[in-house]
Amino acid sequence: MARPLQFERQKAIDAAMGVFWEQGYSASSLQQLLDAMQINRGSLYAAFSDKAGLFKEVIDNYQSRIQSIVIRLLSNELDPAKGIKDVFELTLLALTKDSLALGCLLVNTVNELSPIDSEIASHAANKLDVVEQAFIAACERAQTLKQMTKEITPESAGKMLMTSMIGLRVQSRRGVETSDLRQSIMPLLNMLMPTLDKR
């Protein structure tokens, strides 16, 4: 009979996320992960198979807990323009300086691992695709409610917003100040949704 795993799985995943998020996948050693998770090597292998398996679960957990906030904001049925703005306000511009410095775990992963581990990079990229589709759907609703210009298709607008979000997360990791991040995104939001600056 297999021995039960003697650790709290969610707590261990959260600890591993902190290590991966701060240092990246490649720079996070197995021993650093074990120390942070407070488990032994056998428990890690039994629960996650290996470092890559652990990281994929960390990515899944990141999406379900952190990116779910983005999806919820973009699902604003009554005021999709506000939902789009709130994504940038509450998940980027309202973050602490320390959180901003970490960037987005998914964006970091794609940037780091695309040249060296396409499988894990694709796993992270697929999570970003979910957010892009949510942006596109929000743009479709905003156009229907005449909140967004019709000079650009919802698909193009959604992709543009997603590209901007990724760019801002990269810039935040570089240490760019929040005020500068705001100046970077607000002109685009006001161009796409002219009524925003009148609220």
Q: 100 pLDDT band (50/70/90 cuts)?
A: confident
Q: What are the pLDDT digits (tens) for 28-68?
A: 999 999 999 999 999 999 999 999 999 999 999 998 888 88
Per DSSP, 185 falls in state H
Q: What are the pLDDT digits (tens) for 83-92?
A: 999 999 887 7
Cα(132)–Cα(162) distance, integer angstroms: 6
Domain spanning 56-198: which superfamily?
Tetracycline Repressor, domain 2 (1.10.357.10)
- What is the CA angle 199-90-193, rounded to 5? 35
Q: What are the pLDDT digits (tens) for 67-82?
A: 888 999 999 999 999 9
Q: What's the pTM?
A: 0.88
Residue 149 has pLDDT above 60, yes or no: yes
Cα(102)–Cα(39) distance, integer angstroms: 25
Q: How far is CA 145 from the centre of its chain?
A: 28
Cβ 183 vs Cβ 138: under 8 Å: no
Where do the structural domains in the chain lie, given as residue ranges? 56-198
Average pLDDT, the chain: 91
